[in-house]
């Protein structure tokens, strides 16, 4: 799905990953679920490019519904997979999730069942953990198409980050926030469920406020948000 020139989404409002098309190739941001592999291939075909045009994968964090096809892509093409050092163990399957009590409150059977059904349909149970990652840190600018910059947003997980790509005026936020709670069905800016440290997750959103050049805020779950970044942190807190 083309969002804007050189900016594409694969998946949907339940689970999404993104492609940045720039000089020198393609950068993949997040890798959805294992079954999004076919969506990736279809999107590349529509762009008249191949897997070999991908130069790297940047993960916003290490949860299973964000690392989906990353290991398959890495093994098949040799591209590096970047993740914040604090989430490397999570992406490699050696560290358990630690969501705070109550961070999944308000669950409604219908939306939760749809999320589970979609995840199963996209082979979430087949997700492979990463056997090799390239650790990154807050402030790093990666040598990838679009020159993505890492902005540390610990809270959802210790190594949760946003990925800022000025060339496409996009900010990929992973699960630092959501515009659709997959467990309750509620839409609009709000905190993500299954968050390790909800208070920290809200506090660190202020780090995004200075990014005046952003037109696309792209979460891992939910519709893109096109409001001013200066209103983002307040909007999420109001939706808490």
Find the mean pLDDT for residues 86-92: 97
In the predicted model, what is the mean pLDDT of residues 26-49? 97
Position 212 pLDDT exceeds 90:
no
Tokens of 85: 């050092």
Each residue's pLDDT tens digit, 7-18? 999 999 999 999
192 in Cβ contact with 177 (< 8 Å): yes
CB neighbour class for 200 (10 Å; exposed up to 12, middle 13-18, buried from 19): middle
The predicted model gives 40-56 an average pLDDT of: 97
Predicted local confidence at residue 103, as pLDDT: 87
Tens of pLDDT, residues 124-177: 888 899 999 999 999 999 999 999 999 999 999 999 999 999 999 999 999 999
In which band, very low, low, confident or very high, does the pLDDT at 98 lie, cut at 50, 70 and 90? Answer: confident
Q: What are the Cα distances from residue 23, in Å, to 167, 181, 186, 210?
A: 10, 35, 38, 26
Residue 105's pLDDT band (cuts 50, 70, 90):
confident
Give me the DSSP letters along 128-141.
PPPS--EEE-TT-B
So what's the pLDDT on residue 97? 82
**Which pLDDT value is given to residue 200?**
98
Per-residue confidence band for 230, with pLDDT thresholds at 50, 70 and 90: very high
pTM here is: 0.97
Handedness of CA 110, 111, 113, 114 (dihedral sign): positive
Asked if residues 138 and 161 have their Cβ atoms less than 8 Å apart, the reply is yes
Residue 3 reports pLDDT greater than 90: yes
């Amino acid at each position: 799905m083309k969002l804007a020139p050189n900016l594409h989404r694969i998946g949907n409002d339940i689970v999404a990953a993104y492609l940045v098309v720039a000089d020198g190739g393609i950068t993949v941001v997040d890798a959805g679920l294992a079954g999004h592999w076919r969506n990736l291939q279809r999107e590349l075909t529509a762009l008249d490019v191949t897997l070999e045009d991908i130069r790297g994968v940047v993960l916003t964090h290490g949860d299973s519904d964000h690392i989906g096809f990353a290991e398959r892509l890495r093994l098949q093409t040799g591209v590096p997979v970047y993740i914040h050092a604090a989430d490397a163990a999570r992406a490699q399957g050696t560290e358990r999730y630690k969501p705070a009590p109550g961070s999944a409150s308000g669950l409604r059977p219908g939306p939760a069942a749809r999320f589970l059904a979609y995840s199963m349909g996209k082979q979430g149970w087949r997700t492979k953990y990463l056997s090799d990652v390239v650790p990154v840190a807050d402030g790093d600018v990666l040598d990838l198409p679009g020159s993505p910059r890492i902005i540390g947003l610990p809270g959802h997980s210790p190594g949760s980050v946003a990925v800022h790509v000025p060339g496409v005026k996009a900010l990929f936020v992973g699960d630092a926030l959501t515009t659709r709670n997959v467990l309750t069905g509620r839409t609009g800016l709000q905190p993500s469920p299954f968050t390790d440290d909800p208070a920290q997750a809200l506090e660190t959103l202020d780090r995004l406020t200075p990014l005046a050049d952003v037109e696309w805020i792209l979460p891992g779950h939910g519709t893109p948000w096109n409001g001013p970044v200066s209103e983002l942190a307040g909007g999420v807190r109001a939706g808490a």
